[in-house]
Amino acid sequence: MTPKEKAEEIFYKMSYNSSDEDHHCSHYVAKNCSLLAVDAILSVAKEIGTKESINYWKKVKHEIEKL
């Protein structure tokens, strides 16, 4: 999965985080939640991940920031 696809997937999951499909978060909230999630992943990746995984998640974060 490309970083852009992963960013969109995370954003979508944060937007529609309820079992009720008619309920979703604002763009701002979903984006900030997505960034928080990726920051948490990056902090772990920096400790135990490879350079490739760190770079991947940095690219994902960049793609989320562009949304």
pLDDT number for residue 25 = 80
pLDDT number for residue 37 = 97
Domain extent listing, the chain: 3-17+26-66
Average pLDDT over residues 36-60: 97
pLDDT number for residue 39 = 98
- In this predicted structure, the answer to whether residue 53 has a pLDDT above a threshold of 60 is yes
pLDDT number for residue 23 = 67
Q: How many CA atoms lie within 13 A of 14 on its CB side?
A: 21
**Residues 14, 17: Cα–Cα separation, whole Å:** 5
- In this predicted structure, the answer to whether residue 63 has a pLDDT above a threshold of 80 is yes
